[in-house]
Amino acid sequence: MAVLLTLMVIVFANLVRSKPGRAWVAIRDNDIAAEALGINIVWYKLLAFFVAGFMAGVAGAFWVSNTAALSPEHFPWSWSLWLVGVILIGGVGSIQGAIFGSIFMVVIMELLQLAVLPIAEYFPQVLMNFSYIKDMAFGLAICAFLIYEPNGLAYRWWQAKNYFNLWPFSY
């Protein structure tokens, strides 16, 4: 799965720098201006839908190989909110944002579980209600990022990278 993820990130990063990728960025920023520049908006939106479906299909094919069977119970509605939250925390519109948001949420949830385990020795009902605590922490993280860091973790990464690239003369 790590090899598949690496290959998909490389393919998508190169796709964003190609002609369709530049058209997608132009459409995302201002579709009226993109159309004025001669970009066929309908065709490029359909192409984006196809590429997203293809990548989701490849990921789903590899995921189903790890499970014995699939059913609608494998896809709860809360996963949609989870994925949107991960993108908001990581940074909308960047490849690094999805990666940073995923890493951030996994680390936060693991640290939260480590913090709750000692309390669960004395109060076992806390462990039974851990999913509520997890959802509450997730909602608080989304609210905090929307208020204090609306561009996400990828923007902080971009700022740090630019600071060190321009270090001696940062003005």
Average pLDDT, consecutive stretches of 10 residues, N- to C-terminus, the chain (171 residues): 90 93 93 94 96 90 82 85 91 90 92 84 76 87 92 91 82 64
Q: Can you give the pLDDT at residue 145?
A: 92
In whole angstroms, give the CA distance from residue 48 to residue 77.
24
Q: Can you give the pLDDT at residue 93?
A: 84
Q: Can you give the pLDDT at residue 171?
A: 64
Q: Can you give the pLDDT at residue 125?
A: 76
**Which has the closest alpha carbon to 92: 155, 161, 156?**
155
User: How many residues belong to the chain?
Assistant: 171
In whole angstroms, give the CA distance from residue 156 to residue 149.
9
Helices 95-122 and 153-165 cross at an angle (nearest 10°) of 120
In whole angstroms, give the CA distance from residue 112 to residue 109.
5
For the beta carbon of residue 107, count every other beta carbon within 10 angstroms: 10
Q: Can you give the pLDDT at residue 126?
A: 73
Dihedral sign computed on CA atoms, order 31, 36, 37, 43: positive
Q: Can you give the pLDDT at residue 47?
A: 96
DSSP calls for 25-94:
HHHHH-HHHHHHTT--HHHHHHHHHHHHHHHHHHHHHHHHTTSS---GGGS-THHHHHHHHHHHHH-TT-
Token pair recorded at residue 65: 């190989």
